[in-house]
Homo-oligomer: A and B are copies of this chain.
């Protein structure tokens, strides 16, 4: 463990920041050396500055770290960012310019033409854009790698094997998203006791655009967005963790539900080949029971790193429909960034 890479976590006291700290505890390759947060927390022990909400208490090692401000110099070469959109872009860009390898969960740079928006199982080849990113921006060692929005990740994980096997022309999606996706304090309890909020600002646009970048190609001419259309309606439901999504797909060529189930269950990709520490053995778990997946039962499958798909059946209008569910702050956020970092380490980008 002694040769682990030091990492800094930005926005470490927030909801996704806490998941970073939790998931990195005992990580074989990375060691949380620095926790960075806003002025309000700076200078205090992390264990005290942080209103820890993801388990009984923070890991002892992290709890003892002193919280740094964004202005202080960061020594770690790898930075995980749980900064809120709007603030993230500027800070992350500065850090990448200083040579940091930044893995961000924020929306700010996701759609930039020289930033790889990555899910290691989906588009590991997009990593190559880093060369052009450095060239264009004049960076030598640093870079920014983004992971998608929480709803997008589980949708696209489920789409990827279908996209490869049969093609997809249209995807109609409704999400039932968990409260933790809005952070803490996030959604008031008065809005989620006995209620649904059928709106999450900016979410539908993210799902609709990020999907096309993720399933698209990358070449000399940059990113080529995938030629599928996505329509998303996003809602918030009284669930702590775990986004549920109903999906209907118009395929490129027809396929039976059984054939779709088969390619989903058989799906393995680069993280599984490389046996990355955070990679799920089965990135997609297929349920045969008629009433699955369900958040309480399925969100923690594969330590929260899998997408769980069920109810695969024909669609009256399109070709196939199903339900996909996944943990939104693990595979949908902090775990996504960490898996990206593991991929890049293994591919030699952290040297």
> Residues on A close to B: CB < 8 A?
15, 53, 55-56, 170, 172, 174, 176, 179-180, 184-199, 201, 208, 229-231, 233, 235, 237-240, 244, 246, 248, 290-298, 300-301, 310-311, 315-318, 321, 323, 325
Contact indicator B190/A180 (Cβ below 8 Å): yes
Contact indicator B185/A188 (Cβ below 8 Å): yes
Contact indicator B240/A318 (Cβ below 8 Å): no
Q: A248-B233, A316-B231, A317-B231 are in contact. Are A198 and B238 (CB under 8 A)?
A: no
Contact indicator B176/A233 (Cβ below 8 Å): no
Nearest B-chain residue to A299, judged by Cβ: B56
Task: Point out which of A15, A56, A244, A294 has the most chain B C-beta atoms below 10 A from its C-beta.
Answer: A56
Complex: A45 Cα to B248 Cα, angstroms: 34
Chain B residues within an 8 Å CB radius of A300: 55-56
Contact indicator B176/A240 (Cβ below 8 Å): no
Nearest B-chain residue to A184, judged by Cβ: B190
Contact indicator B198/A246 (Cβ below 8 Å): yes
Contact indicator A238/B238 (Cβ below 8 Å): yes
Chain B residues within an 8 Å CB radius of A321: 231, 233
Chain B residues within an 8 Å CB radius of A180: 190
Chain B residues within an 8 Å CB radius of A315: 231
Chain B residues within an 8 Å CB radius of A193: 179, 189, 192-194, 238-240
Contact indicator A195/B316 (Cβ below 8 Å): no
Q: A176-B196, A196-B244, A196-B295 are in contact. Are A189 and B56 (CB under 8 A)?
A: no
Complex: A188 Cα to B189 Cα, angstroms: 5
Chain B residues within an 8 Å CB radius of A238: 189, 193-194, 237-239
